[in-house]
Structure formats: C-alpha cells, structure tokens
Amino acid sequence: DTAVSQTPKYLVTQMGNDKSIKCEQNLGHDTMYWYKQDSKKFLKIMFSYNNKELIINETVPNRFSPKSPDKAHLNLHINSLELGDSAVYFCASSLRGSGGLETQYFGPGTRLLVL
C-alpha cells in the first residue's frame, strides 16, 4: 500500500493552460504539504493544511490554489501555467504537523514541464 500517492507522475503542458495535481495519504495524518523542488534540487514549502485548514501559505503566486476536501486529500490547481512553473512538485504528510520533529512522508513527486 502506497502511503502518499500523487497523480499524475508526469505532466507536460503548454504555457497558459490550467492543470491540477492530486494527492492522497492513507496514514491517517492530520497535516499535508505541497513542496516545489527546482532544477537545483532546492525543496521549498508552498502550502500546508492541518485538518483541512490552511496553516502555511508561502510567497506563492495566486495562480496556485490548494484545496483540501478532507484530511486525506490535498490537491493543487495551477492556473495560467508559466515556463518557470516547471519543477517537481511533492506532496507530503505528517502526523500532527510539528515542523522538524515529526517524520514527513513524501509522495513520489509530479514532474511538471511547461512548454
């Protein structure tokens, strides 16, 4: 059983399009995250939800909109895709969200390429 799953694994799209990435965790965790990993492998937090409530919203363009329909799911919708959005997007979850004290379980990543 996959603990944190993401779909799709690969996403190739044209500039200006709108796309969504889905994430699901079956660990019963309260907190879920979206990270962006750029070509230099720098992993940067974008959003975090705790019990469906937004708790972290870093300086991310408002073209990115997360949505958590329930504790087990955190989706990411991106409007008007730009070349600079090309990256690997990781979903993660942790039990309560105690940053740095808990294990974060990462999904396999979604490789987004904007042409």
Partner 1 sequence: TQLLEQSPQFLSIQEGENLTVYCNSSSVFSSLQWYRQEPGEGPVLLVTVVTGGEVKKLKRLTFQFGDARKDSSLHITAAQPGDTGLYLCAGGTGGFKTIFGAGTRLFVKA
Answer positive or negative: Cα dihedral of 43, 21, 33, 54.
positive
> With contacts defined by CB under 8 A, how many residues of the chain interact with partner 1?
26
* Choices 15-23, 47-55, 66-74, 78-86 (CB under 8 A): range interacting with partner 1: 47-55
Q: Which amino acid is at 54?
A: L
CA separation, residue 105 to residues 14, 42, 47, 93 (Å): 31, 17, 15, 5
Stretch touching partner 1 by CB under 8 A, among 19-27, 61-69, 70-78, 91-99: 91-99
Q: Is 109 in the site for partner 1 (CB under 8 A)?
A: yes
Our finding on whether 45 is near partner 1 (CB under 8 A) is yes
Least distance CB 79 / partner 1 (angstroms): 25
Instruction: Find the shortest distance in angstroms from Cβ 85 to partner 1.
Output: 19
- Print the SS3 string covering 70-100: ECCEEEEEECCCCHHHCEEEEEEEECCCCCC
Cα atoms found within 13 Å of the Cα of residue 11, Cβ hemisphere only: 25
Residue ranges binding partner 1 (CB under 8 A): 4, 31, 35, 40-45, 48, 50, 55-56, 90, 92, 97-101, 103-104, 106-109
